[in-house]
């Protein structure tokens, strides 16, 4: 019998939110069996608990947001991915703001924090749901986005992306179980195309973005007007902005397929919103947060209503 887990001691990480740009702290605290993952907005009066369940997804604009009534917590996917990948079933995440900090744009620092405090077994059996027949989800607005779950003895993911861009192009990434999650998936950072930055800023998003917490891909020559606006945004000398192998400035990919691996990282976090560990082979084509969470909702309906 596998036992449920939590962390041994509390641990706190602080940083700015990717979209709000606000400074926020998150303290992960041990939780008892069968509590699952709970986000606790301690800055609100009264304090509000937001369970990490697909039913509470309220927004998927460049990240996953959960809400209960008027309380929300945004950009949860990297922390959720780390908890899923590290085998942590129960945690209370105390947050003093409305967005989880972006940190380095990956799940690596969350993984390191969990390793530092350790994982403790709890006196309760871990719950699994095994995919027993093929399940398919096709996005109603984009039939290029297709997810399939197949029966398997472990949690497996195959990711396929195609951005029709010379600097990324078609990429695949695979994970068979969580044994190599910490080395092959957790460090992979979020990414954006240079031409997306201005429109996202105009939408009041990515105010906490920086050159060191995201891969910025440049698929067109860097124009002087773009360079000047970027330099102003990031408080840099315009002459210091460089493009190396299609990536802006000194941050270079850890892996040739880091974008595909990061999409897999996001999926691992979002699918944990089913609230249960899964056994199945998930083939995700052109994934994103909306499709991830739609699929998590679909699976939740099957799991809890069958």
Tell me the C-alpha to C-alpha distance, in Å, between residue 135 and each of 148, 257, 288, 294, 296. Answer: 6, 27, 18, 13, 12
Q: Residue 198 pLDDT > 70, yes or no? A: no
Structure confidence at residue 203 (pLDDT): 66
* 3-state SS class at 3: strand
Rounded CA gap, 300 and 273, in Å?
Answer: 8
Grade residue 225 by pLDDT with cuts at 50, 70 and 90: confident
Grade residue 210 by pLDDT with cuts at 50, 70 and 90: low
Grade residue 238 by pLDDT with cuts at 50, 70 and 90: confident
Q: Residue 1 pLDDT > 90, yes or no? A: no
Residues recorded for the chain: 306
Domain carrying residue 42: 3-126
Work out the number of other CB atoms within 10 angstroms of the CB of residue 218. 21
Instruction: Please indicate, yes or no, if residue 60 is contained in any of the structural domains.
Output: yes
Q: Residue 43 pLDDT > 60, yes or no? A: yes
Q: Residue 192 pLDDT > 70, yes or no? A: yes
Rounded CA gap, 168 and 288, in Å?
Answer: 16
Instruction: Please indicate, yes or no, if residue 133 is contained in any of the structural domains.
Output: no
Rounded CA gap, 144 and 291, in Å?
Answer: 11
Rounded CA gap, 53 and 35, in Å?
Answer: 12
- Average the pLDDT over 172-184 and give the result: 98
Instruction: Please indicate, yes or no, if residue 40 is contained in any of the structural domains.
Output: yes
- For 19-29, the pLDDT digits (tens) are 677 899 999 99
* 3-state SS class at 31: coil
- For 78-100, the pLDDT digits (tens) are 999 999 999 999 999 999 999 99
- Which has more pLDDT, 89 or 240? 89
| Lowest mean pLDDT across 36-40, 247-251, 299-303 | 247-251
For residue 302, give every residue at least 6 positions away whose Cβ sits within 8 Å of its Cβ, in sequence order, or none: 135
Instruction: Please indicate, yes or no, if residue 84 is contained in any of the structural domains.
Output: yes
β-pairing, 215-217 with 128-130?
unpaired
Structure confidence at residue 12 (pLDDT): 98
Sign of the CA dihedral 122, 125, 127, 131?
Answer: positive
Instruction: Please indicate, yes or no, if residue 209 is contained in any of the structural domains.
Output: no
Rounded CA gap, 93 and 240, in Å?
Answer: 39
**11 in Cβ contact with 113 (< 8 Å):** yes
Q: Residue 42 pLDDT > 90, yes or no? A: yes
Q: Residue 254 pLDDT > 80, yes or no? A: yes
**65 in Cβ contact with 20 (< 8 Å):** no
The mean pLDDT value of the chain amounts to: 91
Query: Would you call the peptide bond into 20 cis, given omega within 30 degrees of 0 as the criterion?
Result: no
- Average the pLDDT over 250-264 and give the result: 90
For residue 268, give every residue at least 6 positions away whose Cβ sits within 8 Å of its Cβ, in sequence order, or none: 80, 81, 84, 85, 157, 175, 181, 185
Instruction: Please indicate, yes or no, if residue 220 is contained in any of the structural domains.
Output: no
**Is residue 289 annotated as part of the catalytic site, yes or no?**
yes
At 109, which CATH number?
3.30.230.20
Rounded CA gap, 167 and 178, in Å?
Answer: 29
The total of structural domains in the chain comes to 1
Instruction: Please indicate, yes or no, if residue 118 is contained in any of the structural domains.
Output: yes
Grade residue 291 by pLDDT with cuts at 50, 70 and 90: very high
Structure confidence at residue 252 (pLDDT): 80
**Catalytic choice (19, 78, 281, 289):** 289
Structure confidence at residue 218 (pLDDT): 81
Structure confidence at residue 97 (pLDDT): 96
Instruction: Please indicate, yes or no, if residue 302 is contained in any of the structural domains.
Output: no
H runs (alpha helix) in the chain: 77-86, 108-117, 181-184, 194-202, 224-233, 258-271, 289-305
């Amino acid at each position: 019998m596998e036992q449920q887990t939590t962390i041994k001691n509390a641990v706190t990480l602080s940083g700015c939110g990717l979209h709000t740009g606000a400074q926020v702290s998150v303290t992960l605290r041990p939780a008892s069996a069968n509590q699952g993952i709970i986000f606790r907005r301690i800055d609100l009066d009264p304090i509000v608990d937001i369970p990490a369940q697909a039913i509470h997804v309220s927004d998927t604009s460049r990240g996953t947001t959960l809400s209960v009534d008027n309380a929300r917590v945004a950009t949860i996917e990297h922390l959720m991915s780390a908890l899923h990948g590290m085998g942590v079933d129960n945690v209370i995440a105390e947050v003093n703001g409305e967005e989880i900090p972006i940190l380095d744009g990956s799940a690596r620092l969350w993984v390191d924090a969990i390793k530092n405090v350790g994982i403790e077994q709890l006196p309760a059996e871990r719950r699994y749901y095994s995919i027993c027949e093929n399940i398919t989800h096709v996005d109603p607005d984009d039939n290029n986005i297709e997810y399939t779950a197949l029966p398997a003895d472990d949690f497996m993911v195959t990711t396929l992306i195609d951005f029709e861009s010379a600097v990324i192009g078609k990429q695949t990434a695979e994970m068979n179980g969580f044994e190599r999650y910490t080395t092959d998936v957790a460090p992979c950072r979020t990414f954006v195309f240079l031409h997306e930055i201005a429109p996202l800023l105009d939408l009041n998003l990515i105010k906490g973005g920086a050159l060191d917490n995201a891969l910025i891909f440049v698929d067109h020559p860097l124009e002087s007007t773009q360079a000047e606006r970027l330099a102003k945004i990031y408080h840099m000398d315009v002459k210091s902005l460089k493009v190396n192998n299609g990536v802006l400035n000194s941050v270079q990919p850890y892996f040739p397929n880091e974008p595909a691996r990061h999409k897999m990282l996001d999926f691992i976090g979002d699918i944990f919103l089913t609230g249960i560990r899964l056994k199945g082979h998930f083939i995700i084509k052109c994934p994103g947060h909306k499709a991830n969470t739609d699929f998590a909702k679909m699976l939740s309906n099957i799991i809890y209503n069958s």
